[in-house]
Every structure is written in C-alpha cells, then in structure tokens.
A and B are shown apart, each in its own frame.
Chain A
C-alpha cells in the first residue's frame, strides 16, 4: 500500500515517514512567513499535529506537500496575528542606505516594525511575494484563496506600506 494511503488509514509509521520527508519543507515555508526560527519550529510541530488529527479526511490522491503547506500557512498567519506589534513609529528616520551601521540597523528595525503593523494576512502575502519572490500561483495555493484575492492583498499591503514608508521618509 502507498505511503499516503497508509497514513490516511492511521498508520503511525507512515506518519513518521511523512514527517521526516516534509519536516524541512514545512519548516522552511513557515520560517519565510514568521521569520523567527524558534517560532517556526514550534509551528512545524503544530502543523504536523493538525495533519495527524485530520489524517482521516486526507485524500491520498491529493498532493501531501500542498496540503501541509496550507495548514502551515494558516498557523503562521495566526502566529503573526498574535505577534502583531502595536508600537508607534517615529515620524522621521535616516535613509537606510546611510553608511553609518547604527543608522542602517535602526532603519531595518523601523522597516520591520512598519511591516509588522500590517494585518497578518497581508503580511504573509507580502512576505512571500516581495521578500521571498514567490509567484502569485504559489501564494494563492498556500493561502487557499484565488489569485485575484492575492492581488487584492498585495494592493492593500502596498498602499499601507507606501504611506507608512513615506511618513518615515524612507526611499528605495
């Protein structure tokens, strides 16, 4: 019997085999969204726990990786929602390209803070598209929404970020 079929029927050895096979991929995907290795590790375990609990509903003909990625993305978004910072940003900031490393570090932190203030769903979509350069197809698959919805999220994220970056005096 196929590994996925055995997993769907509740075979624990098959689950372990799938865990070993997809652990790195799931961890890497979550890390790209939450950008925190410790949180990514915990969320990876949580993802596989949810996979384990939902194994009876899994269709062995469907790709396991895509299913795992979608569960992982939802968990990562929940994590971002909890972590979302409420800090106020200063009005002005030195240019991030300035030669002073302290200024560069400060600029980086300001960019990150501004980004973390986006709603979690927009953060996830913008991280994957802009920083990790994933395609809209891949993002829509992971988020479980249409490409149109991804475009809309990107549009909203860009509008908020552009306003925020302008307010902070940041230029590309």
Chain B
C-alpha cells in the first residue's frame, strides 16, 4: 500500500464520482435462484437430447424452409 499515498489526488476525485457501495445495497433486489434454475434446466435439456437428434431436427427444419410444399407431405405422415 506504499504507493497509494501518492495517488490521493486521483482517489479524492474518484470518490466524488463514485459513492461507495453501502452494505444495504449488497443484497440482490430479487431472488436469483429461479434464474439459476432456468439455466440448469436448459442445460439438462441439452444434455438429455443427443446431438444427432438436434442435427436431425435442424435438417428437417431446413428442408421444410426450402421446400414449403413438403410441409403437407410431412403432416400427412404424422
């Protein structure tokens, strides 16, 4: 901390620009666990479905996008 004494001018100006965080502000304004759970659930879903299923889904979506008439054919087979 020896160098800090030389920085007093900068420190004083910064303190005018940025008030210190008070202990009361250190609490998140909402419960963050639900957001955490959503992330975990999305991850679990990605883990559950194997990559080739996603690839198949992508290929199907691409086919339907490029050949919209195949939607009817696809629906007929469902």
Chain B hits for A151, CB < 8 A: 3
Closest CB-CB distance, B60 to chain A, in whole Å?
Answer: 30
- Cβ of B30 within 8 Å of any chain A Cβ, yes or no, is yes
- Cβ of A16 within 8 Å of any chain B Cβ, yes or no, is yes
Q: Could you tell me the distance between the alpha carbons of A110 and B13 in the complex, rounded to whole angstroms?
A: 11
Residue in A35, A115, A130, A136 with the greatest tally of chain B CB atoms within 10 Å:
A130
The number of residues on chain B lying at the interface, defined by a beta carbon within 8 Å of a beta carbon of chain A, is: 30
- Cβ of A149 within 8 Å of any chain B Cβ, yes or no, is no
- Cβ of B15 within 8 Å of any chain A Cβ, yes or no, is yes
A window 95-118: CB within 8 A of B: 96-97, 107-108, 110-112, 115
B window 4-24: CB within 8 A of A: 4, 6-18, 20-21
Please, which residue of chain B has its CB at the minimum distance from the CB of A111? B17
Chain A hits for B68, CB < 8 A: none
Q: Could you tell me the distance between the alpha carbons of A52 and B40 in the complex, rounded to whole angstroms?
A: 9
Q: Which of A2-10, A21-29, A68-76, A82-90 forms contacts with chain B?
A: A21-29
Choose among B9, B14, B35, B36 the residue that contacts A126 (Cβ–Cβ < 8 A): B14
Chain B hits for A79, CB < 8 A: none
Residue-by-residue, is B33-53 near A (CB-CB < 8 Å gives 1, otherwise 0)? Answer: 101100110000000000000
| Additional 17 contacts, C-beta under 8 A, given A24-B26, A27-B26, A131-B15 | A23-B32, A31-B21, A32-B21, A35-B18, A41-B35, A48-B32, A96-B17, A108-B16, A115-B17, A127-B18, A130-B10, A131-B14, A132-B20, A132-B21, A161-B10, A171-B13, A172-B9
